Amino acid sequence: MQSRTLSKYSAEILRTVDMLGTVSVQELSQILGVSDQTIRRVTRPMAERGDLSKVHGALVSNKSALDPPFLSRMSVNRDAKVAIASEVAQIIQDGDSVAIDTGSTSAFIAQALRQRKALTVVTNSAFVASTLAMIPGNNVSMAGTQLRDHDGAAFDRAAFEVIERMEVDYCVLSASMVHPTKAFLVHEQCEVDIASAMMDNAKTAIMAVDASKFQPQDRRPALRQPAFKEGDMLVTNTAPGADFDVALKGLNIRVAG
């Protein structure tokens, strides 16, 4: 039985290390909800086999540097995304239903939600679906059949059909930038359309963005996410400045520690 448990941890650890590129033992124990000692015990033979490397107390992926851009984005502002994910996992409770979009912050949220039980999940992200589908008691629906090669997300007609049939307690959304007057912006129309479909069938929408999204960007997104209603939520890692009061009016803002 112990051997099977360690094997399960090995798969989870390898997936997480490959996703992040580099992660400390302490960070990994927090993400997976196991002790530092368990992480060290499981990763010792993994390092000996060459599955990953250990460098100065950190675990390092041995995957090629030519991995998809999605994995690269997972390493950007990682601490902030982990904190946001932990906060969202406090909002969503055992037995809740949730729609989750694609994106690096959503991937961290999926990892954090592994501590929850009996979730009903619908997502257009292959990463989110695979992260939560193997938890006993969860009911996970993958929305879509044709996946994009750079992030494993689906935006085909089948994705919308699945999402539109689901009534959920929460939907978790992301954005490329937060504008002081135009609110949440993204680069692609398909992202707006998926967000709209999820929000239409969710009691509460949760926007999860780290503090970097409140800064000006060289390539500013041009498309607005759908308007949020009063009582919807923003989860971020730093309190937004007064310049964003208009854009965030009516939202329940939660700042992750």
pLDDT (tens digit per residue) in 226-252: 999 999 999 999 999 999 999 999 999
Query: Dihedrals φ, ψ of 5, to 5°?
Result: -65, -45
Per the CB < 8 A criterion, the answer to whether 173 and 163 are in contact is no
Inform me whether the pLDDT recorded for 28 exceeds 70: yes
Could you give all domains of the chain from N- to C-terminal order, each with its CATH number?
2-65 (1.10.10.10), 72-255 (3.40.50.1360)
Which residues in 191-221 are b (16+ Cβ under 10 Å) and which e?
bbbbbebbbebbebbbbbbbbebbeeeeeeb
Q: Which two structure tokens, joined as six digits, stand for 28? A: 């990994």
User: Would you state the pLDDT for residue 145?
Assistant: 92
pLDDT digits (tens, 9 = 90+) for 192-236: 999 999 999 999 999 999 999 999 887 889 899 999 999 999 999
CB 121 within 8 Å of CB 202 = no
Tokens read off for 47: 């390092």
Supply the mean pLDDT for the chain: 89
**How far, in whole angstroms, is CA 68 from its chain's centroid?**
16
Contacts of 19 (CB under 8 A, 6+ apart): 71, 74, 107, 127
